[in-house]
Amino acid sequence: MILYVVRHGETDWNRAHKVQGHTDIPLNNYGRHLARETAEGMKNLKIDLAYTSPLSRAKETAEIILAGRNIPLIEDSRIEEFSFGNYEGMYCGGDNKDPKSADFNRFFTDTENYIPPSDGESIPHLYERTGDFLAWLCKKEELQDKSILVSTHGAAMTALLNRIKGNLSVAGFWRDEVPPNCAVTIVEVAEGTPVIKKEGVIYYKEKVKPWKAC
């Protein structure tokens, strides 16, 4: 089994440093451009089926990458983005930065001490649900010879990759930073065990700076 794990393209909220989480924000035109460039770079790769987060930014990214191919696209809420509860919609950086955003920004700068709001999700829960998806997928006998696109989000993708690396630390969650929009990580699964072969593959020409809270 080969997995192509991709983060969605850019949205207006990404650009504005607004907290997205479960809020269903669509790709912007630049995000669609990044997805089309990624599709061009992946056009000769065999892909048999795809799993996507139900959120439209991940789903449209997968649709663009798979355009012109007759490939099933299956929604799975286990790879949906992290829920930030009532932090969603807050400006956490940039010119409009909310003065109360320091508590939220611990999610990036001091993850061990991040306290989710009452209607939000914890990092251990994110590890649990994304890990359940990964284990389930890797064990499916009928998919062992398949190549699969997995379209997801920055935090959910990080949780998936951390698990493959054997890192389930909360404090070290962002050890390898936020994956850029449309970055692809290639994972090989043999006898149910996933191994990362290439991480952070970029198929577009633009230079993208790592996203950081500011």
Catalytic residues: 8, 81
Residues 6+ apart with CB under 8 A from 125: none
User: Rounded to an integer, what distance in angstroms lies between the CA atom of residue 83 and that of residue 81?
Assistant: 6
Strand locations in 80-135, DSSP E? none
| Centroid of chain to Cα 196 | 15
User: Rounded to an integer, what distance in angstroms lies between the CA atom of residue 159 and that of residue 25?
Assistant: 21
Phi, psi at 22, each rounded to 5°: -80, -10
Residue whose tokens read 């451009």: 33
